Structures are given as C-alpha cells and as structure tokens.
Amino acid sequence: MESIESILNDDFIGKTVTIHGWVYRIRSSGRITFIIIRDSTDIVQCVASSSLGERYNDISSLTVESSLEVTGQVSKDERAVTGYEIKISDFKIYQRNEFFPITKDKSDEFLLDNRHLWLRSREFTSILKIRSTVFKAFADFFYNNGYYQVQGPMMVSTATEGGATLFKLKFFDDDVYLTQSSQFYLETMIFSLEKVFTIAPSFRAEKSRTRRHLSEYWHAEGEAAWLHNDDMMNVEEKMIEYIVSEVLNKNEKDLKLINRDISKLERIKAPFPRIKYRDLINKSREFGMNLKYGDDLGADEEYNIMIHYEKPLFVTNYPEELKTFYHLPDPENPGEILCHDLLAPEGYGEIIGGGERIWRLDELLERMKKAGLPEEDYYWYIDLRRYGSVPHSGFGLGLDRLVNWICNLNNIRDAIPYPRTVRRIKP
C-alpha cells in the first residue's frame, strides 16, 4: 500500500500501485469515470473504464466520501489535478455512501453541527496538520532548551485569572473549578526543575462572542527560575520564530492549500519590537485611535494596532490595575509592572501573556490583600515565597490563537477540531 503523496513523482510512471482512501470527486461520462481519491497525504486522479467489465458499474456509481482501495498503473498526465493518473485495474469498495451531507453551500451552523464530517475537508486537513506541527515544535523548542514537561491539575479550588470566567463543577461534596491556567502549579515546580513547560487545556467561561475566545483552549505555558521579564521575552521570540520556521519547513503544501501568504510568515524572525504600554498609547494616535492611559486593550484595539505591524509586538509595562495580582511591580516605573503581552501581526492581537512574578512574601501578601483574595485559599502559592524563593518569570501562549494567526483564519473556531464556545458544546 502506498500513500498518495509518495506516488506523485516520475519514479512511479509505469508502475502498478495500490492506494486506499476516499472519493473526493467523481465524474462519469458513460464508459469512462474519473475518480479523484484522497487520503491523508494528497489527492490523485484515477480512471475507471469499461475494460473493468461487469464491475465497472460498481465503481462508476460511487458517491463522494465512499471508501475504497484501487490498484492500477501510474502515468503522467498534465491535465490531472496533481499531475499523475492511475488507470484502475482492480478495486475494493469498503463502504458505499448514499450521499455525503457536507457541500459547499452549507451554512456555518450546519458545518459546526457536522464538524465530525467537515474535518475531512482538504482545508481542515491542512489546518490540522499545521496544528500538529505547532504543538510538536512548541514542545521540541523547550526540550531543546533544557525545560522539563510537567502537568498541573485541571480541577482546582482557586482562580488564577479572576472569578468572572470560572466554570464551576461538583467535586464530590465540594464546589471546584476547571483551571484557567496552570501557571501557579508550574511555579511550584521550578523549585525542583528550574525550567518547566506544559501543554494543557484551560477553561474560561467567556460569555462575549469574539473571534478569539474559546471556552476550552490549549494553553502552552512556561515558567523559569532566575529569569527576568526581558529574559523571558528573549525565550518567547525565539520560540515563536522556531515554531513558524517549522511550519514553513513541514507544511508548505498545507499553507498553499489554505491560501496563506507565505512571505508574511517568512518575515517572522527574532528579535521582535518591544514597546511600553504608555508609549503604545501615545503611538496609537498615529493610527487614528483615541486611547488614553489606563484603557485596557481588547480584541478591537489590538486589531487596529496590529494591522500596522509585520512582526509580532511585545507590549510591556502595563499599569498595575490592568493585570492580575501576581505581577512584579517595576521599581523604575511606579504604577507599572514587569509584564508583557505578545501581539500577533496582521490584526490578530494577543497570543501570549507573560511576565515576572512577585517573589517576595510581603509584596505578594500586600497585593493579594489589595485584590481582596483570601490567603487561606492560596496558602500553597504563598508558601513558595517562604522557602527559598527566587526571581522567576513565565508566560502563557494560546496555541489555538497561534494556529489561528499562522493559518490566517477568520475565527479561532476553525483553529481547533471541536470548538467549545458559549453556544456550542457538540459534537
């Protein structure tokens, strides 16, 4: 058995091969039938003719997405969709479909309800392949840089990012939450491993419908002892550069298939520009925006900024009020914290949130008090500042958002096989 991709070259001309897959398109003109067959690797034109005798009717009457195996001789044919053709001499039908419900004219809702079938489209197949590269490249990058992969729990008793977006569930007799981030648990592990990363789902009850929020998303997080905010950004820009270069190396065909402008990805080379929040607020006037110091940047603001950038942009030094309690204040700029967001170009906006963590006990307790958080619930997080505390920094990257940008999609829903949003929990 050969993969379709492997036979699409001149070495196979004149050879007899067997492939298996699904009917991608079929067109019959009486005594001759053209069947485009797809497998996970590519598509190829196959031709059946009445030389198959009585069995010809079986194959010429197949419908889209029926599964089959064909054997035949390969020839070169410039008119065929991928340049070669297989003349079918034998075949086996696994399943004959009556019809396949997915067609081009179907509504978004219909396609979402039938996501389990829509995943077979060539576009989605390519997105899934790119996503697979992104996940592997993320992990490889950190393994190559001396990080250990770790796992935190998904069911937790405390909020990381704030209460509004927590999913609550029953855990025996208690109320617990689905985790919003593994950060705090990663912080506990730097005391044994120093540098750690994780790839895990995070859950956020995002009630507003946006093109970049999922209720369940894949969160790639890293945490490293001894690193400061700038050091962490140095790591992150190399990581993004590496992931993009891996996608360019491994998925060129897929990027073309989804019409991604490859030249834009080729520009994604470290270092990335860095700007302080307050300078960005001033600069945004050049973009015709009317932001003032203290305004939070949401999807719309980030879009309007990032359509002006070709590379990702680090925004640092947000005002303390805009971020969660654990961020380290900047001693040189009162009221600002040593944090960063990484905004993706072409209008995509935030893909990473990160920064340096408060590591001194009194400072943390003060910030928690200000935020109104009960110390008891966070005793273990506080303990980290009691026993051999060290400066450390970390980040969280939304992998679905990264795929969304790399694939240049319109909606994050299409970057993940089974999106969970405020209105969707099936299939």
Binding pattern to ligand ATP, positions 387-426, x when CB under 6 A?
A: ---------xxx-xx-------------------------
Rounded Cα gap, residues 306 and 413, in angstroms: 21
Sole binder of Mg ion in the list 312, 345, 353, 354 (CB under 5 A): 353
**349 counts as binding Mg ion under rule CB under 5 A:** no
**352 counts as binding ligand ATP under rule CB under 6 A:** yes
- DSSP for 348-402 reads TEEEEEEEEBP-SHHHHHHHHHHTT--TGGGHHHHHTTTSS---EEEEEEEHHHH
Give the 3-state DSSP-derived string for 57-101, with helices as H, strands as E and coil as C: HHHHCCCCCCEEEEEEEEEECCCCCCCEEEEEEEEEEEECCCCCC
**242 counts as binding ligand ATP under rule CB under 6 A:** no
Binding pattern to ligand ATP, positions 14-53, x when CB under 6 A?
A: ----------------------------------------
Binding segment for ligand ATP (CB under 6 A), chosen from 111-119, 170-178, 206-214, 283-291, is 206-214
Q: Which residue number is nearest to Mg ion in terms of Cβ?
A: 353
Return the number of other C-beta atoms located less than 10 Å from residue 133's C-beta: 20
- Cβ closest to ligand ATP, residue 38 vs residue 204: 204
Give residues 130-149 in contact with ligand ATP (rule: CB under 6 A): none
Burial 170-194 (b: 16+ CB within 10 A, else e): eeeeeebbbbbbbbbbbbbbbeebb
Question: Minimum CB separation from ligand ATP for residue 388, in Å?
Answer: 27
| Sheet of strand 313-316, all strands in order from the earlier edge strand to the far edge | 148-149, 195-203, 216-225, 392-398, 349-356, 339-344, 313-316, 274-276
Rounded Cα gap, residues 242 and 232, in angstroms: 15
Binding residues for Mg ion, rule CB under 5 A, total 2
Binding segment for Mg ion (CB under 5 A), chosen from 81-89, 118-126, 254-262, 345-353, is 345-353
Sign of CA dihedral 386, 389, 393, 397: negative
Binding segment for ligand ATP (CB under 6 A), chosen from 1-9, 21-29, 113-121, 211-219, is 211-219
Q: Which does 131 bind (CB under 5 to 8 A by kind): ligand ATP, Mg ion, none?
A: none
Q: Which residues bind Mg ion (CB under 5 A)?
A: 350, 353
Q: Which residues bind ligand ATP (CB under 6 A)?
A: 161, 204, 206, 212-214, 217, 219, 350-353, 396-398, 400-401
